[in-house]
Structure 1
Amino acid sequence: MVSRIGREIELSPVELGSQTAKRVEINLASGTPDPQVMPLKEIKEAYEEVINEYGSKVLFYPGAGGQEELIREIENKVLPLLGLNAQDNKVVVTSGAQHAMELLAKYFLENNTIAVENPTFIETFTPLRLRSNAVIPISLDSNGINVDELETLLKVVKIELLYVIPNCHNPAGVNLCEERRKKLVELANKYDFYILEDDPYKPIAGTTPRPIKSFDREGRVIYISSFSKIIAPGLRIGFVLAREDIAEKLALLEQMDFSTSTINQYVVAKLIRKGLISSRMESLSHHYGKKMKILMDSLIDYGFKDFNTPKCGFFLLLDLKKDSWDVFREAVKLGLSFVPAKPFFLRGGETMARLSISVANEGQIKEGVKRLRDAWQRV
């Protein structure tokens, strides 16, 4: 006897790709930030400093919704960098963006109808799907979610939530244009639904439009971010910016599992205070942009032309014109891993592949594309 969630949960293609990547030479699957640019020295020093400064306090149980030291640093220094402020809203600290999505699913959903981009990021979408009665896909193009299609839907269907990834979309790599961001808030107000703005890539994205949350005057937008891409994912520190009544409930839900590490919250607060976030934003945007250009140039050199042009981030969505699982199996034999992208789509996507530039170096990206071409030719 198990729940519906227990019956329906299954291994994601992202996890499969990551597991496979451990057994091959070239990893174009992982979404982990480049280990070559992780600030190991600064992180090590921050651990020593917070222990010396606070003593055993950093090893106590965490407070509900986050340590005050970290919340203050996010409000005063991080939000302005993201184009936001805490006015009429409250910050809740979570164990990364994934944990935030789980808490938000618990708070908002009980067999409701929701809408998502098609494609969407399956890892964060799954908690929403498992607690929903129906999920409606909305098309995505080079400017983000199709707001006209969404509005047509809203005239006939009541939704509770809309889930969007506005910057460096995973897996599509696109940015939502500013006009559509404004329109989404107008639609949320008119048709009475909430928007989950999942924005972990903004700190490494370079220039992007203003957050959807910045247009929100009625508390309809819940903003989710993370320090995983700008510092390191293993620290498991993210946050939610939401209307106060929503944030207070999320803090209580967060307290139920006590999963957000106390010492890691102090470490991240220390790193923010020392200016690490602001100092890394431009350099990381340039670093990943350079690697993405190498990937796109290599794809064209080897005859792959059916892909989007990513605006930022780690991911490129490639149409292989053949079943991506068949190509994946051949690629693994040749020492290459990527992520077959069909599970990111609620409709279509059978021939799509997600390629990542996050952990591979320049030589590995070029060789990986060559092996992808060889695998493609075998199918």
Structure 2
Amino acid sequence: MASRIEPSRMGKEITLSPVELGSQMAKKVKINLASGNPDPKVMPINEIKDAYNQVIQEYGFKSLIYPGAGGQEDLIYNVNKFFLPMLGLNKKDDDMTVITSGAQHAMELVSKYFLEYDPIGVENPTFVETFNALKLRSSINFPFDVMNDGIDTASLRTVLEITRIKLLYVIPNCHNPAGVNMSLEKRKEIAELAHEYDFVIIEDDPYRPIAGEVPPPIKSFDSYGNVIYLGSFSKILAPGLRVGFALGEKKTMEKVSLLEQLDFSTSTINQYVVSRLLKTGVVKSLSEKMSSHYRKKMNVMIDALNEEGLTSFNRPSCGFFLLLDLHKDSWSVFKKAIERGLSFVPAKPFFLKGGENMARLSVTNVEEDKIREGISILKESVN
């Protein structure tokens, strides 16, 4: 007998994400173009194993106790030492880094801090999993189209002139799912708009360590504390480590660190392990070669799509994903593809408007020959 107790608004609105659905179905098929995991062949398994042994030898029980609010100090130090120069940022006295259980956790904490049924702005399309944390706590969501050079700032400015938003969520590098990079000019422009119209920018940047040459972060143009930068080790090391970070104005991040204490989800030993991998240069070494690894695989996918006549896509700048217009309802194509042994992600849920015919394709969990075979199956499923 089912309970008659009503769930909260969040409980009613939360639904299965298309990414999770695609991943579940991928277990039943031979070719997985749905995955958001990094390529297993380049995960530094041996280095991670060695780091665990070294951490336990050096720190003993200290690596297995509570980390404290905001994260383990050794990791915070090494995150700042490694990432701030990469980002072109100088550590300011009024900035603070908080360690989180991946960038997704950081998004949840920041949305808890800022949002209580407030209006927000978001790219269209956007990454549905992180957007859900914002959507469940916002009142109105304004979508701004993603162009070849990032968010449509003209539309953003038009909306800002007539109404207020509390927060703008953007993915500037290797956009998920669109694959594009935001231009330098637009990064500067939205940083200026955030100050002029008094809203917060959440800059979600988990792909930077594997992106290669990209413009400086929006955070580097933030002179007034309006930008919170989110980073992650999921794409460069392994997502199962669940280690990310948030960098922002100190008075905000102190509160975010207290919210992090409410769930204590960020593993102490994993923080020590990531810190060790930063110190020993493993992260730097991987970062120097990952962009070319994924670019090579993406080029294989692009060539295969062109050969099959599936040409309605923007060439991805970097990262894992390509967004393809199937010119047919993507869910119907998805069902046919699953029957033929292929999984991808129907991308309609990534869009606040439109997107019914869009598919997100990933290059991470497949060999090059399987990429070609998968695209051939996709073509058959569209016909």
Flag whether TM exceeds 0.5 (same fold).
yes
In 2: Cα distance, 1:122 partner to 1:79 partner? 28
Indicate the residue corresponding to 1:63 in structure 2.
Answer: 68
User: 1: CA distance between counterparts of 2:285 and 2:90?
Assistant: 20
Which aligned segments of 4 or more residues in structure 1 are displaced greater than 4 angstroms? none
CA distance in 1 between partners of 2:305 and 2:145 (Å): 25
Q: What residue identity is the alignment partner of 1:326?
A: S
CA distance in 2, matches of 1:185, 1:83: 15
What is the CA-CA distance between 1:278 and the residue it aligns to? 1.1
Letter of the aligned partner of 2:64 in structure 1? L
Equivalence map 1:44-123=2 (5 Å): 44-87=49-92, 88-123=94-129
The one-character-per-residue Cα deviations of 1:19-76 (angstroms, maximum 9, x if unpaired) are 0001100000010000000000000000000000001110001211100000000111
**Residue aligning to 2:334:** 328
1:86, 1:241 within 8 Å by CA — same for their partners in 2?
A: no
Of 271, 290, 302, the residue aligned with 1:265 is 271
Asked whether the equivalents of residues 87 and 220 of structure 2 are also in contact (C-alpha less than 8 Å), the reply is: no
In structure 2, the gaps of 5 or more residues are 1-5
CA distance in 2 between counterparts of 1:279 and 1:209 reads 20
Q: Offset of 1:282 from its aligned partner?
A: 2.1
Q: Normalised by the size of structure 1, how large is the TM-score?
A: 0.99
Letter in 2 for 1:336: L
Quote how far apart the aligned CAs of 1:317 are.
0.3
> In the alignment, does 2:35 pair up with 1:42?
no
User: Are 1:306 and 2:312 matched, yes or no?
Assistant: yes
- What whole-Å deviation, never above 9, does each CA across 1:78-135 have from its counterpart, x for those lacking one? 2212332321311000000000000011000001000000000000000100000110
Matching residue of 2:190: 184
* 1:2 Cα deviation after fit: 1.1
Out of 243, 247, 270, which is 1:237 matched to?
243
C-alpha distance in 2, partners of 1:302/1:39?
A: 35
Structure 1 CA distance, aligned partners of 2:147 and 2:349?
Answer: 18
TM-score if structure 2 supplies the norm length?
0.98
CA distance in 1, matches of 2:123, 2:252: 24
Question: 1:213 is matched with which residue: 216, 219, 225?
Answer: 219
Aligned pair count reads 377
Q: Which residue of 1 aligns with 2:367?
A: 361
Match of 1:351 in 2: 357
1:126-185 deviation line (CA, Å, top 9, x unaligned):
010000011010111000001111000000110000000000000000000000000001
SS at match of 1:289: helix
Q: Say if 2:33 and 2:362, in contact at 8 Å, map to a contact too.
A: yes
- Confirm whether residue 248 of structure 1 aligns to residue 254 of structure 2: yes
Q: For 1:26, which of 23, 31, 35 is the aligned residue?
A: 31
CA distance in 2, matches of 1:52, 1:79: 29
Task: Give secondary structure in 1 for the equivalent of 2:162.
Answer: coil
Percent identity between the two aligned chains: 60
Question: Residues 318 and 355 of structure 1 are in contact (CA less than 8 Å); yes or no, is this contact kept in structure 2?
Answer: yes
Task: Report the more deviating stretch, 280-289 or 77-86.
Answer: 77-86
Whole-Å separation in 1 of the counterparts to 2:90 and 2:43: 27
What are the ranges of 5 or more consecutive residues in structure 1 without an aligned counterpart?
none
